[in-house]
Structure 1
């Protein structure tokens, strides 16, 4: 298996988590749009606090656990992990977010890397694809969680609005947390899954009936 210092590995991962990779991440806000609409997030500090909570106590950590679990099993065992990942989605739009992005990711992986993987929720899709393509788990997970942070920061830049420089400052400030989560979550069992991002989850439900919106979640 390739090591995480292999330039070819890093360039492949950079391709997978590039904004150019066609998963439609730009069209999802994870419920952030509803919070901005209600005036609960309107500054870079408020966004940074919300993002840190989502990373540490919500989908960020859970996604790393799902990604790791999918990486370690055979294809025959992916369906059970994927079903659990879908069940953990707290709203219909959050389910759409992970299923649509995962489906798009898998279609591209199958077309470009000739893998023949089934449709999967996004973190499960990434874990399964990394194993199938012989990419190491740790750098895959670090790039995944950084991509998650970057995509939602891009949404915040458009919604709050934040300046481009403020957005990059937020990403830099939260990057150490991404590393901490990878250090702790990649060896965590599925039994350790859990979330306490109740306000973020409620916001994703409220977004479903929001009158005017730019994002699909």
Structure 2
């Protein structure tokens, strides 16, 4: 099901959303591959087709889906205590130490940047929880936030695939274009979700993230 954003967004809201959920926003996402580095090194992700399939699985059945559900729950949360519980849940869902650090470090960087810009004062919650809280405080519409968050998540991993599979820039953009309907569907499902819907089955990427922890030569932190 596609999301329909019924009301036009105010320009300031649109620009804030585009800035916060841009690969240029300093969360340090470029340092984390989500296990993709291990997949490329092993030859399991080796071309545009396998990169697209891997990323689609992560979005639909792995951290993409769970992050979207956590973000929506954080956006709807009534108070900081509810968000603290979501933060604990987000870290508990990580399959290993590196993936836990991936979410925690990016969330802390996101919160620190908003504090320095004077836009929000948040604890260093994991990234989806921090984004949901900040977006609610800034009046950003949840539908649009979910779409932008998932697009940013996919774009970061597609950029890593371009550099390390390696793929051409056009192939990377082709992957993102092809994933647009899936991103819209995952966002729409998250919009109707609650924390009871959390769960996943992206075992290949989870195992790759554990494999990455023992690689002798690594560029990325996950």
Instruction: Give the TM-score normalised by the residue count of structure 2.
Output: 0.94
Select 1:67's aligned residue among 50, 67, 71: 71
Q: Give the aligned partner of residue 23 of structure 2.
A: 19
Distance 1:192 1:76 in 2: 20
Select 2:138's aligned residue among 130, 133, 150: 133
Q: Give the aligned partner of residue 4 of structure 2.
A: none
Distance 1:52 1:111 in 2: 35
* Map 1:80-119 → 2, pairs under 5 A: 80-119=85-124
* Map 1:1-217 → 2, pairs under 5 A: 5-73=9-77, 74-217=79-222
Paired residue secondary structure (1:62)? helix
Distance 2:159 2:117 in 1: 26
Distance 2:10 2:119 in 1: 22
Is the Cα–Cα contact under 8 Å of residues 64 and 123 in structure 1 kept in the other structure?
Answer: yes
Gaps of 5+ in 2: 1-6
Is the Cα–Cα contact under 8 Å of residues 71 and 129 in structure 2 kept in the other structure?
Answer: yes
1:107 offset after TM fit, Å?
Answer: 0.6
Distance 1:180 1:80 in 2: 26
Distance 2:11 2:27 in 1: 24
1:76 offset after TM fit, Å?
Answer: 2.9
Distance 2:119 2:188 in 1: 31
| Stretches of 4+ aligned residues off by more than 6 angstroms | none
- Which stretch of structure 1 is more off in the superposition, 125-134 or 111-120? 111-120
Distance 1:20 1:85 in 2: 24
1:66-115 CA distance string (max 9 Å, x none): 00000011223210011001100001110010000000001111221342
Distance 1:213 1:68 in 2: 33
- What RMSD in Å do the two structures reach over aligned CA positions? 1.0
1:64 offset after TM fit, Å?
Answer: 0.5
Instruction: Give the TM-score normalised by the residue count of structure 1.
Output: 0.96
Distance 1:97 1:37 in 2: 20
Distance 2:221 2:171 in 1: 24
Is the Cα–Cα contact under 8 Å of residues 13 and 139 in structure 2 kept in the other structure?
Answer: no
Q: How many residues align?
A: 215
